[in-house]
Structure 1
């Protein structure tokens, strides 16, 4: 009898061991690349906030003593050419500034526009920077001089007031020389170490399929740019574009990376040098390294709750807040490394006092990542994926919000994780919302009414919007629809749905209800951040998410009242 019981015990023990070891092993790789702006540009406008209308530049002047105190810097101060106030040779092209303030040279057509009061200029990365006798630094895009001179920096009350007599470049850095012979060095204002900007990629592979999730510390991006990135990754790695999901954290403290054609001129186009020398290479390299570093891993998913945000819209109504915090972990089977991805919906917008408003920062997602990595018992890489944050603002400053979210994620990791097993699949779909453009007469009347209001932020925005719409009418380029892109990633029992645009709370709540017995995560800000995606209450009450933001994003019209039903019904019908 004892032998029989012993044998039975061994059978049960071995069976239990097989069940433990039956958890599926995925191939998982992760990589991180910096998105911090460097010396590729002398000044970059920050994104997210249109105010102050004069510009948010992560720029300051650092005092470097008097002219003669540094011989290397002194030797870099350019001398005037014959008959010129200043000459500069850049990439074998000679530019000349004459005594009348005219700049000639290069291949710009039309010619470089005049800048009243100009005293000095330099050229960097296809941009010309100029001083004009005030504390404002100007910039001109040489490939598109018709856009005109734009503000690149000014004394905003947070940085030293410097009036350059001359600007020059030494060892790749921009310097200003004042009338008192004081020298100042231009510098980007960076946040603390946890606030650094990153592109982080997570590759997950089953026996049959591979997906790549990429999380960026950027405010947003145009779909055309993301499509180009996806094509490059897909071609190199033979990976379907539909298997690549790219999410923006929506930090309001990163350089602008998309077109905002109704904003102040300095915000309308992303910095070409930052996009081509930092963002694009970082994204491609992160994808390469994540795919190359794949190793056998156990993948788990779980959900907890958090209280980092509040619904900011329709204050007089009962508005929803999705308190879910979703966590995905991937731990190598040898126990050497761990990856943690956290998804929650909340705008990274707090921290705007003083110089912080002009500082490059990943905001609370960076503090959250740092806390999770420091808490890891083994080497840990943390990622943040933005959820349906369109109408959700934080209740605390970034450091506190990041710490709270990290603590909530750790609770999930410690007590509420479910192992994933099963195939990986992916799908792309879209819903096309028709536009209802204004008539030409209405646009002209609207433009004139706002023009009469003078130099104010919203009237100037409205004039720019009307000009954009009139241009569409004249050129027959008015968009017929506003697409909402829907991407679905299935990993075993976990479903991730990524929506384009700034998605508000109700979308996440409604989509999750379609699969009540399944863990479904919903991310906004995926693949294309070209407007808000509101619901009926925003549109009917004409609050910012439903109306005002449409002018900022340059939409032809508001979304239809039933846009939520259209998106949810499409997802329900397709059941990807």
Structure 2
């Protein structure tokens, strides 16, 4: 209250000393309120929601169900009469009925369909830009320019030798599927068309091309994307929740993706989402010292992507790579953003458009917004506890769990509201069932952020994931977890006991490298043989893929020699932020803070690289998921040595950053 009063009524032309005497004489505000603002701080945020030009993305975090979890949701938009085929041209819907083409008169999907005059009997429809494509009953390929008239003037492009069951257009080529399930393509040019085989696919119902990709809809109601020589990749399934009707036709338009079922109901594709995924950035500067802290609602990042982003940030904003910390919230309900070579094919690689356009652009926007908004501010840190998790796999009792809740408050000189950064260490994993299991969401961190925005003095809230590698929530409802976190943060802010951060800024990025000691080829082949032939067994299939990956490394003589662990340290005055890579388990947070018992130390996991778990000897000796099986899922050459924890803690202690 005092701070807000000073900001509202202190005359800027009065000297600080005069204001001090005047206000303190009235008993309005303590002397400490006029301390010099220590830093320049800026906050930025940008959405990483997949856009409407991406049909569907696989959700990360779980190897099951085997068929995958995908974001595509079909939403009914209109009930039309049954059609034999359909296409969209200039965002208008055209339907084929009994050899005739009908156009929906209104773009709002509420008008009546109008039969267009034409000279041909049509059996298939497709679209390209402002052209309507068709196959006639005489097996001729036709095209007509759509110009708003009620008559189609078909122009003959050629005679087809194959009998097509579906037609589309993709990257300057006509594409069709024949009765044997073979896809054929022909370059769109003048003169005779030359058809070449593209790929085979069983039980194709329809094909669809957009600006970037070619898709097929199968009789199993799977949507597959053509990946070139790698074949077909599943990108959506009939899951009975967000995709719960059998579709007959797929269509792409400038407004996104559409489908029609056999009864003539028109659906629009969208991503099932809570619409909360974001990247948050906090930039702190004092003199020439500047650091950027980023928190992203993703399951994890590869080092290569993070290093590329850090290079871009340095080029654009002059912040050195070692001064940029990228933290992943580890939500299990975000799109895949890293390579998972041992997972099912649908999760092995990120969607390129999503990662390199949406996420990459958002990271740059968040840092840009933060640097543009730099302004005088003081920083405060508070340390509390919140009991939201438990150690999920270690045997025995009295198991380690760091309950720490760290809160950083940014108090701006010229703003009456604060930015908040809060950190807790716990997996965002529940509930993985029903609608929530197939809905894009930041899970409890995102809900907690939203709750904190209802506090009168909070302008924005940013989450950092702590060392929660072996910690799962105690509550199945992630909203209850979020409520506990938000309540603990609010209590911290209300108590007014947070300690001010003062002093210079420095930063370091260190690496502790562990030799991989890969398995010999004979052991790999024996392991593969023991797991092959078990179709449908998710674990066995993962083991076969892992063995194949290792054998490929041996064949190419490029087996990774080390498994690096990155340790990043930001010293912002008397506050130390340590960011550790990989899925850092809870004892690392306890161990690092024990090195500086009298200092304000915050420890984040999941920083800069999430390429495996980071266990302790307890996980490794017990042979549990964090210490053994997870390394196969992550495609690592081997597990860490038993003394991995001691080695890392000793390295941090000896460097004393």
Query: Normalising by structure 1, what TM-score?
Result: 0.92
Q: Map 1:235-384 onto structure 2 (within 5 A).
A: 235-377=315-457, 380-384=459-463
* Alpha-carbon distance in structure 2 between the residues aligned to 1:501 and 1:313: 18
Partner of 2:110: none
Q: For 2:574, which of 493, 496, 503 is the aligned residue?
A: 493
* Alpha-carbon distance in structure 1 between the residues aligned to 2:211 and 2:656: 48
* Alpha-carbon distance in structure 1 between the residues aligned to 2:211 and 2:424: 37
Deviation at 1:471, TM superposition (A): 0.3
Asked whether the 8 Å contact 2:47–2:279 carries over to 1, the reply is yes
Deviation sequence 1:108-149 (CA, Å, 0-9, x none): xx97431112232122353321112232211223xxx23221
Q: Is 1:48 equivalent to 2:95 in the alignment?
A: no
* Alpha-carbon distance in structure 2 between the residues aligned to 1:181 and 1:17: 72
Give secondary structure in 1 for the equivalent of 2:453.
helix
Asked whether the 8 Å contact 2:184–2:199 carries over to 1, the reply is no
Deviation sequence 1:386-428 (CA, Å, 0-9, x none): 0001001111211111111011112222223001110011001
Give secondary structure in 2 for the equivalent of 1:279.
helix
Partner of 1:29: 42
Partner of 1:547: 628
Give secondary structure in 2 for the equivalent of 1:165.
strand
Q: Using a 3 Å threshold, how does the CA distance of structure 1 residues 401 and 101 change in structure 2: closer, same or farther?
A: same
- Structure with higher RCO (Cα < 8 A, 6+ apart): 1
Q: For 1:116, which of 202, 214, 232 is the aligned residue?
A: 202
Deviation at 1:480, TM superposition (A): 0.8
Asked whether the 8 Å contact 2:170–2:214 carries over to 1, the reply is no
Asked whether the 8 Å contact 2:210–2:252 carries over to 1, the reply is no
Partner of 1:176: 259
Q: Using a 3 Å threshold, how does the CA distance of structure 1 residues 136 and 422 change in structure 2: closer, same or farther?
A: same
Q: For 2:93, which of 70, 73, 77 is the aligned residue?
A: 73
Q: Map 1:101-500 onto structure 2 (within 5 A).
A: 101-105=181-185, 112-124=198-210, 126-141=212-227, 145-191=228-274, 196-377=276-457, 380-396=459-475, 397-415=477-495, 416-500=497-581
Deviation sequence 1:182-207 (CA, Å, 0-9, x none): 3333221112x6xx100011010012
* Alpha-carbon distance in structure 1 between the residues aligned to 2:503 and 2:265: 66
Asked whether the 8 Å contact 2:237–2:243 carries over to 1, the reply is no
* Alpha-carbon distance in structure 2 between the residues aligned to 1:298 and 1:207: 14
Which range moved further: 158-167 or 525-534? 158-167
* Alpha-carbon distance in structure 2 between the residues aligned to 1:353 and 1:92: 42
* Alpha-carbon distance in structure 2 between the residues aligned to 1:349 and 1:451: 30
Q: Is 1:508 equivalent to 2:589 in the alignment?
A: yes
* Alpha-carbon distance in structure 1 between the residues aligned to 2:460 and 2:583: 26
Deviation at 1:375, TM superposition (A): 0.9
* Alpha-carbon distance in structure 2 between the residues aligned to 1:454 and 1:289: 49
Which range moved further: 32-41 or 526-535? 32-41
* Alpha-carbon distance in structure 2 between the residues aligned to 1:227 and 1:161: 41
Give secondary structure in 2 for the equivalent of 1:497.
strand
Give secondary structure in 2 for the equivalent of 1:74.
strand
Structure with higher Rg: it is: 2
Give secondary structure in 2 for the equivalent of 1:119.
strand
Deviation sequence 1:335-365 (CA, Å, 0-9, x none): 3331100011000001223111000111000
Give secondary structure in 2 for the equivalent of 1:185.
strand
* Alpha-carbon distance in structure 1 between the residues aligned to 2:177 and 2:433: 40
Q: Which structure features the higher share of helix residues? A: 1
* Alpha-carbon distance in structure 1 between the residues aligned to 2:61 and 2:48: 17
Which range moved further: 361-370 or 316-325? 316-325
* Alpha-carbon distance in structure 2 between the residues aligned to 1:126 and 1:160: 23
Give secondary structure in 2 for the equivalent of 1:569.
helix
Give secondary structure in 2 for the equivalent of 1:453.
coil
Deviation at 1:441, TM superposition (A): 1.0
* Alpha-carbon distance in structure 1 between the residues aligned to 2:318 and 2:501: 25
* Alpha-carbon distance in structure 2 between the residues aligned to 1:95 and 1:302: 61
Deviation at 1:273, TM superposition (A): 1.3
Which range moved further: 78-87 or 215-224? 78-87
Deviation sequence 1:218-256 (CA, Å, 0-9, x none): 110111001111100101112211010010000000001
Which range moved further: 42-51 or 71-80? 71-80
Deviation sequence 1:29-83 (CA, Å, 0-9, x none): 0011111112131111100011111110122222334444999323595233352
Q: Using a 3 Å threshold, how does the CA distance of structure 1 residues 294 and 93 change in structure 2: closer, same or farther?
A: farther
Partner of 2:74: 61
Deviation at 1:442, TM superposition (A): 1.0
* Alpha-carbon distance in structure 2 between the residues aligned to 1:125 and 1:562: 52
* Alpha-carbon distance in structure 2 between the residues aligned to 1:210 and 1:111: 56
